[in-house]
Structure 1
């Protein structure tokens, strides 16, 4: 390496190829250079802030076009050139411009730097109506899915717990949909009335099952606790005639009682 000095005390160190590779300067000279760079940067930022967005660009973005695509085309750049310069994959950039994906902070910062705009300039305009329409469509799809699930459950193995879950989700989505779109109130009210009827039937079916089980248990307890049953089941012989004794009547009664209590 070779070294050269100038009158300002700046030392330039050349590499093997003879080109400058490093610079050594006094601290005062470095501080002055840094402050000048900061002033230039602040001036550039202020200039950008005070410069209005071109009318064609603002109009296209206001009409819902993606800001990245609008600014890219305003700068006269092709998508592949922007992707290459910003270090972004071309498919990823395409998904950002079509609204399929939101770019990460690092990606959007790189794109903004290439397009010479701020990150705020690349923020899409809030589209409340479009967002509400997507939410409405999602709720309607969920309601329809629960209706299909109910038809499948009722037509197949009847599971009261699964039916109750489907109806509960259906009611929740329907109420939310009604709050967001009052125009659907008539259709939703009919659906909620049907849902209440289904829940009433489920409650009745589950209650019938409980009552039937309770009646069966009571009848069984009356049977096994009667004196005739106890006398007949006092000793049980096997059918082979070997005379070997199996469970005694009291043991059977005790086992049946325990099994009944477990139910």
Structure 2
């Protein structure tokens, strides 16, 4: 059994807070090393306001629906239906679109 140390609840709370701060700093450092993963605030707001993530990421990449359809080997009408919320798209379709947009499929759902 390991050695034990007794500390006050206040000290324990400060250690937990410091550990959370360290985790935040590490996450910030990771994000700074990989700026490609950042999404502009106005794009995030559009998604929060209910706009289709597919449309937002397509706009970020400067692509028309037809250009994305060609890159992803997906019918343009499928893209229009997903962006309009008429359909959700199959896993296979979303995977193709995510790859073409260079994002994770999780970013689209």
Q: What TM-score does the superposition give when structure 1 sets the normalisation length?
A: 0.28
Match of 1:95 in 2: 81
Q: Please point out which of 54, 60, 67 is paired with 1:81.
A: 67
Instruction: Return the offset for 1:52.
Output: 2.7
Match of 2:40 in 1: 54
Q: Please point out which of 108, 114, 119 is paired with 2:100.
A: 114
Instruction: Return the offset for 1:118.
Output: 0.8
Q: Please point out which of 52, 69, 72 is paired with 2:58.
A: 72
Q: What is the alpha-carbon distance in structure 2 between the residues aligned to residue 80 and residue 121 of structure 1?
A: 21
SS in 1 for 2:74: coil
Match of 2:7 in 1: none
Structure 1 stretches of 4+ moved >4 Å: none
Q: What is the alpha-carbon distance in structure 2 between the residues aligned to residue 81 and residue 113 of structure 1?
A: 14
Instruction: Return the offset for 1:51.
Output: 2.8
SS in 2 for 1:95: helix
Instruction: Return the offset for 1:87.
Output: 0.8
Instruction: Return the offset for 1:57.
Output: 1.3
Q: What is the alpha-carbon distance in structure 1 between the residues aligned to residue 39 and residue 59 of structure 2?
A: 14
Quote the RMSD (CA, aligned, Å). Answer: 1.8
Match of 2:20 in 1: none
Point out the structure with the larger strand share. 1
Instruction: Return the offset for 1:121.
Output: 1.1
**For each residue in 1:76-109, what CA deviation from the matched residue of structure 2 results, as whole angstroms up to 9, or x when unmatched?**
0011000111011111111011010011111101
Is 1:63 aligned to 2:58, yes or no? no
- Report how many aligned residue pairs link the two structures: 77
Q: What TM-score does the superposition give when structure 2 sets the normalisation length?
A: 0.65
Instruction: Return the offset for 1:47.
Output: 3.6
User: Quick one: higher RCO (CA 8 Å, sep 6+), 1 or 2?
Assistant: 2
Match of 2:21 in 1: none
**For each residue in 1:224-262, what CA deviation from the matched residue of structure 2 results, as whole angstroms up to 9, or x when unmatched?**
xxxxxxxxxxxxxxxxxxxxxxxxxxxxxxxxxxxxxxx
